[in-house]
Amino acid sequence: MKSQLQLNKLNSFKEKVYSFSFANYPSTSRIHKLQNFSSLNSIYVKRDDELGFGASGSKLRKYLSLIPFLIQNKYHEVIVIGGAYSNNILTASQLLIENNIQPILFLPEIKNENRRGNFLLTSLLIDKNNIHFLNQSDFSSLNLIIENYCQHKKEKGINVGIIQEGANMKEALPGALSLCFDIIKNERDNNIEFNHIFVDSGTGLMAISLILGFSYLNKNTKIHVLQVAGHKDEFNNSIQFYLDYFQKQFQIQINTLSDYELYFPSSAKSFGSTNASIFKSIIDICRNNGIITDPIYSAKLFHEGKKIIEKNDLQGNILFIHSGGGLSLFGFQNELFKYYNKYCDSN
């Protein structure tokens, strides 16, 4: 962002994004060096985990614009769809209740003995009458079930909104774009420019917003995306969808997309799965870097990112986004204890 022209472009882009209503959640986080991570001395971490305790990181950014949208629509209830242990369900539940909107959860069936971790926390927030458990055949007719639910409520004068899985919605894009502006602020404050950024991806919206923002600003940073969920095609379709929406919504043009690359976990490949090497990484990152990471997103990102840096001999300034989600660790106490005994308490 050196020339005046680039600065003007950044400022007018920012103005367009912030012309949407934004909630006043924290949206700036610090960066610091990641010590003892690899032989490179120029690896940094962005502490989006510090944006909050209950709601943190990527999710909090998406809700910066999504919650004001739901409030403006005067919904009495909002349906939230997702997995029982989902960070999004847990985040949405907190923020909706705070705003006096009743969350209605649509979750896959789950046994009571599996009420732990995020699902246990969500159960503290939401009465069981407002949780609808669906079996597999219900999921194949989910749209119809939701339509019926909304219609039934409408007849009673109750206005119902919907949050899609992972809050992957266009109304969350302005909030998600705050990450792009915050990284540019970090660069300016620290007098540094990043050559590579590592970010994790579930639905892809956070990573996509970063790619779109950097593309529009012609930033010369390669974005390395670790896709912990979904397929390559889904990500690429989604980027096309959001590219079209972005250009229409902000009335601006992206000529070429920034350089980005998709990776998949080489270890504990399927979404939500974990294994010994992921827990070993969690312990290593604790001991070497003083950072607590969750096994679903961040530990996988650091684990895989380190391999990618070494394999490709990446150079320059590198940034890892710690996207938050630490509360899910609460569901892995037995594993943490097991691997503590295995790796830390051997004498």
Ligand X SMILES: *Cc1c(COP(=O)(O)O)cnc(C)c1O
Using CB under 6 A, count the residues that bind ligand X: 19
**Closer residue to ligand X, CB minimum distance, 52 or 267:** 52
331 binds ligand X (CB under 6 A): no
Cβ pair 48, 29 in contact under 8 A: yes
Residue 111 falls in which region: left (phi positive, over 0), alpha (psi -120 to 50) or beta:
beta
213 binds ligand X (CB under 6 A): no
Site for ligand X in 234-273 (CB under 6 A): none
Q: How many residues in the chain?
A: 347
Among 81, 121, 206, 291, binds ligand X (CB under 6 A): 206
Among 187, 293, 323, 332, binds ligand X (CB under 6 A): 323
The alpha carbon torsion through 143, 144, 148, 154 (nearest 10 deg) reads 40
Interatomic CA distance for residues 309 and 305, integer angstroms: 6
Token pair, residue 50, equals 């510090």
**Closer residue to ligand X, CB minimum distance, 103 or 166:** 166
Among 203, 215, 258, 274, binds ligand X (CB under 6 A): 203
- Rounded alpha-carbon distances, angstroms, from residue 282 to 175, 303, 335: 29, 9, 11
Can you tell me which residue has the tokens 């970063």? 210
Among 201, 215, 221, 281, binds ligand X (CB under 6 A): 201
Site for ligand X in 143-172 (CB under 6 A): 166, 168
Q: How far is the CB of 278 from ligand X (least distance, A)?
A: 14
Q: Give the N- to C-terminal CA distance of the chain in Å, as an integer.
A: 53
Range in contact with ligand X (rule: CB under 6 A) among 36-44, 110-118, 200-208, 265-273:
200-208
**Closer residue to ligand X, CB minimum distance, 125 or 145:** 125
Site for ligand X in 88-107 (CB under 6 A): 88
Interatomic CA distance for residues 262 and 260, integer angstroms: 7
87 binds ligand X (CB under 6 A): yes
Cβ pair 46, 161 in contact under 8 A: no
Interatomic CA distance for residues 255 and 261, integer angstroms: 18
86 is an active site residue: yes
Catalytic residue among 86, 209, 215, 323: 86
Q: How far is the CB of 151 from ligand X (least distance, A)?
A: 29
From 344, 285, 317, select the one nearest 40 (Cα to Cα): 317
**Closer residue to ligand X, CB minimum distance, 172 or 309:** 172
Catalytic residues: 86
Residues lying near ligand X in the complex (CB under 6 A) are found at: 57-59, 87-88, 166, 168, 200-207, 297, 323-325
